[in-house]
């Protein structure tokens, strides 16, 4: 009898999973057992599971095996927004807003309308912004330790667009981009769009494993290293000065460019100097105002080395020309009059209060977080599969993100990332109590 083809094995498993014959959480045969059972090569068995994983049907866990994945849609990088019950809380995304920000926006728009030439806001700005607006951002960045001339600031429609333009300018398809093994999901999306080869760097409790990064740079031609050294997403670490110095030295020794994401850096009241201050000639700094001001204010900026400014500006011009004039006027006005600084101070206080509530509500569980951050990494027991936990919580009206969304390599930790900014502060303890009860109800 002719052995089944590779594709037939994939199709048979896919059909069994989709029909419900193989239930979520079912442990599948080991790679060797599958090879024997289906009379295929071991490498072919591994390819079968890789294709099933790419289709979102199974998940492999190092040391435990391969399992049928819960396909409810409430796990991964873009969880379904439609819940089977009334929504209780969205802990999958951070969208911090102060109660008075709507009125603040109303006043700002009135002031813009009453300006001497409001029609100027409707005219096309130069790609990357005009010099006056860039200068406002450059002054703001001084307080973050980024000392740069206005002409090196490129204004964009959010931090994600800033990161996109930097990667467009810096890399070519096939280039190696070193990233944390657990990190910001948006980098995975951009790497896939640009055809980059993601090289995950193992993480420790205090930051990326810099010994592993050094070995990677010796073994492969790493073009750039993406890093979030101050209030990391999702693990919350702040790299100490020695780690930052070593990271800058590694980049110099191996000819890498550092891409420093400062999105959450404002939450650390007294951070060490940014990487940009240590190695401005090889660091692209990117950040925006979505977390410290408002998620709907899509305004960001990139500060590349001088020789990369034309390429980053050209990438922005090709993609979207630049940040909209009205948004730029709002953002730079709030930067200049101190509104952003005041909002950042309130965000730090609010995030610290939420962390205290979370640590009390989740006492005894495995929690990793910065003490003044809106992010919390919740470790799960071995039997509490993240995809299943996400589905159980969705049935309780609670949205979360699973570790899958943040994993850049094969390691898929048993963990959830909780975004604490959404629920009202007075309701957060109750939401987390419900979350804890739901997760602990998952049977072994």
* Residue 51: predicted pLDDT: 84
DSSP H or E run through 32: helix 31-38
- Alpha carbon 274 to its chain centroid, in Å, reads 19
Summarize pLDDT for 391-443 with one digit per residue, the tens: 899 989 999 999 988 999 877 789 999 999 989 999 999 999 999 999 999 88
CB 178 within 8 A of CB 222: yes
How many Cα atoms within 13 Å fall on the side-chain side of residue 384? 23
Give residue 165's pLDDT band: very low, low, confident or very high (50, 70, 90).
Answer: very high
CB 51 within 8 A of CB 366: no
- What is the rounded distance in angstroms from the CA atom of residue 117 to the CA atom of residue 134? 20
* Residue 3: predicted pLDDT: 47
Summarize pLDDT for 282-336 with one digit per residue, the tens: 999 999 999 999 988 899 999 999 999 999 999 999 988 888 888 999 999 999 9
Beta bridge partners of 375: 419
**What is the average pLDDT value for the chain, to the nearest integer?**
91
**pLDDT, average across residues 329-355:** 95
The DSSP line for 151-206 is GG-EEESSHHHHHHHHHHHH--TT-EEEEESB--HHHHHHHHHHT-EEEEE-EETT
Of residues 191, 202, 163, the one with CA closest to residue 410: 202
Give residue 67's pLDDT band: very low, low, confident or very high (50, 70, 90).
Answer: confident
* Residue 97: predicted pLDDT: 79
- What is the rounded distance in angstroms from the CA atom of residue 146 to the CA atom of residue 287? 11
Q: Is 202 left (phi over 0), alpha (psi -120 to 50) or beta?
A: beta
* Residue 45: predicted pLDDT: 86
CB 25 within 8 A of CB 385: yes
* Residue 349: predicted pLDDT: 96
Residue 1 has pLDDT above 50, yes or no: no
Positive or negative: CA dihedral 167, 169, 172, 177: negative
Residue 4 has pLDDT above 70, yes or no: no
Instruction: Establish whether the linkage from the previous residue to 234 is cis, with ω within 30° of 0.
Output: yes
- What is the rounded distance in angstroms from the CA atom of residue 366 to the CA atom of residue 361? 12
CB 123 within 8 A of CB 325: yes
Residue 271 has pLDDT above 50, yes or no: yes
The three-class DSSP label of residue 58 is strand
What does pTM read for this prediction?
A: 0.85
The CA distances from residue 296 to 142, 231, 286, 331, 423, in Å, are: 25, 21, 18, 12, 18
* Residue 410: predicted pLDDT: 77
């Amino acid at each position: 009898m002719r052995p089944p083809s590779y594709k037939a094995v994939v199709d048979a498993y896919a059909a069994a999973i989709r029909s419900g014959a193989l239930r979520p959480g079912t442990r599948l045969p080991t790679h060797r057992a599958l090879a024997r059972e289906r009379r295929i090569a071991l490498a072919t068995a591994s390819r079968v599971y890789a294709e099933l994983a790419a289709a979102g049907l199974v998940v492999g866990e190092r040391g435990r095996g391969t399992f049928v994945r819960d396909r409810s849609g409430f796990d991964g990088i873009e969880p379904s927004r439609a819940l089977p019950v009334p929504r209780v809380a969205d802990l999958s995304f951070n969208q911090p807003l102060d109660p008075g920000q709507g009125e603040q926006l109303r006043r700002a728009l009135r002031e813009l309308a009453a300006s001497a030439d409001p029609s100027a806001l409707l005219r096309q700005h130069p790609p990357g912004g005009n010099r006056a607006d860039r200068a406002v951002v450059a002054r703001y960045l001084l307080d973050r330790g980024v000392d740069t001339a206005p002409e090196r600031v490129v204004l964009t429609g959010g931090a994600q667009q800033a990161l996109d333009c930097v990667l467009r300018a810096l890399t070519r398809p096939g280039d190696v981009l070193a990233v944390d093994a657990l990190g910001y999901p948006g980098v995975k999306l951009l790497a896939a769009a640009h055809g980059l080869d993601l090289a995950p760097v193992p993480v420790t409790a205090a930051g990326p494993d810099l010994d592993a990064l050094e070995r990677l740079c010796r073994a492969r031609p790493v073009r750039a290293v993406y890093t979030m050294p101050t209030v990391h997403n999702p693990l919350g670490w702040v790299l100490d000065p020695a780690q930052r110095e070593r990271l800058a030295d590694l980049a110099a020794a191996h000819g890498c460019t550092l891409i420093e994401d400062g999105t959450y850096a404002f939450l650390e009241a007294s951070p060490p100097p940014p990487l940009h201050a240590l190695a401005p000639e090889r660091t692209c700094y990117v950040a925006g105002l979505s977390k410290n001001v408002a998620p709907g204010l899509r305004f960001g900026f990139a500060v590349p080395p001088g020789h990369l400014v034309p390429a980053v500006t050209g990438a922005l011009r090709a993609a979207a020309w630049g940040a909209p004039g009205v948004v730029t006027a709002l953002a730079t006005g709030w930067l200049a009059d101190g509104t952003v600084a005041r909002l950042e101070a309130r965000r730090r206080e609010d995030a610290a209060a939420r962390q205290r509530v979370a640590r009390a509500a989740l006492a005894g569980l495995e929690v990793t977080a910065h003490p003044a951050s809106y992010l919390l990494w919740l470790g799960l027991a071995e039997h509490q599969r993240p995809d299943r936990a996400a589905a159980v919580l969705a049935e309780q009206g609670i949205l979360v993100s699973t570790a899958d969304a943040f994993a850049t390599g094969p390691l898929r930790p048993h963990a959830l990332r909780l975004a604490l900014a959404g629920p009202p502060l007075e309701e957060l303890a109750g939401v987390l109590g419900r979350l804890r009860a739901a997760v602990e109800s998952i049977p072994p």
